[in-house]
Structure 1
Amino acid sequence: MIGSNPLTNETLPAKPHVHGDGEHIHPHVHSEESQRRIINRLSRIEGHIRGIKNMVQESRPCPDVLVQVAAVRGALDRVARIILDEHLTECIGRAAKEGNIEVEIEELKAALDRFLP
């Protein structure tokens, strides 16, 4: 994903993440549009979390804070869904064409084991 240099605040280019089993290594690259969409969503979530922090600092009622926490959870779930959809379409699709889908599926299973409660 696209990052930024914290010292200059300039946007850095996307760096491909390479993954595989040692024999079948391939870059993990998202389109610029996809990266922009995900980064924008995460930035909104980041702002929402700061808002929740302010609510706690202001001693706002707990039910109000919990409603906002639930909203952030939902927003994070939507980001995860976008990432998963792209992974299934791009990475799993590519692995199927290349004939090494087993590696990609094992990586996905491991990620889902950590992601799902």
Structure 2
Amino acid sequence: MELVDQSSVQSSHCSTEDCGRKSHHSDKVKNSIVSRLNRIEGQVRGIKGLIDKDTYCDDVLNQIASVQSALNGVGKLLLEHHMRSCVIDRIQEGDTEVLTELLTTMNKLMK
């Protein structure tokens, strides 16, 4: 997992009051996420190609595991940014409901 340099996390946040639940990622974080998602998209297209070519099932399953791992990495990056910015900001604003939201999201990610 790639940790986010705190200098790249801007002081903006995703408060529901200020910006309608939008997240404001630094250019560095956004570029990293988009780059990872582009690679994942290519991997998924590759898996479709493997199926078209009747590739041995175990080889396809290993590629699927690779895609799942890559998606988990993107999820961890987003979760870290969310906790360091959005969650902290909303708690400081007195919105403790964000903790329930965070726990629900974390449970979904851990399935």
Regarding TM over 0.5, the answer is yes
Distance 1:18 1:82 in 2: 16
Question: Structure 1: which 5+ residue stretches go unaligned?
Answer: 1-16
CA drift at 1:110: 2.8
Distance 2:36 2:52 in 1: 25
Distance 1:93 1:19 in 2: 10
Higher relative contact order (CA 8 A, sep 6+): 2
Decide which of 26, 37, 48 is 2:18's aligned counterpart.
26
- TM-score w.r.t. structure 1 length? 0.73
CA drift at 1:114: 3.3
Question: Structure 2: which 5+ residue stretches go unaligned?
Answer: 1-12
- TM-score w.r.t. structure 2 length? 0.76
Does residue 80 of structure 1 match 2:75? yes
Note the aligned Cα RMSD (angstroms).
Answer: 2.1
Structure having the larger proportion of residues in strand: 1
Structure 1 residues 92 and 19: CA distance shift in structure 2, 3 A: closer
Does residue 106 of structure 1 match 2:110? no
User: Secondary structure at the residue paired with 2:104?
Assistant: helix
CA drift at 1:81: 0.2
Contact 2:15 2:86 in 1 (8 A): no
Contact 2:50 2:60 in 1 (8 A): yes
Structure having the larger proportion of residues in helix: 2
CA drift at 1:94: 1.1
User: Secondary structure at the residue paired with 1:30?
Assistant: coil
Which consecutive aligned stretches of 4+ in structure 1 deviate over 6 angstroms post-superposition? Answer: none
Contact 2:15 2:89 in 1 (8 A): no
CA drift at 1:44: 0.2
Corresponding position of 2:7: none
Count, aligned residues: 97
Decide which of 47, 61, 67 is 1:66's aligned counterpart.
61
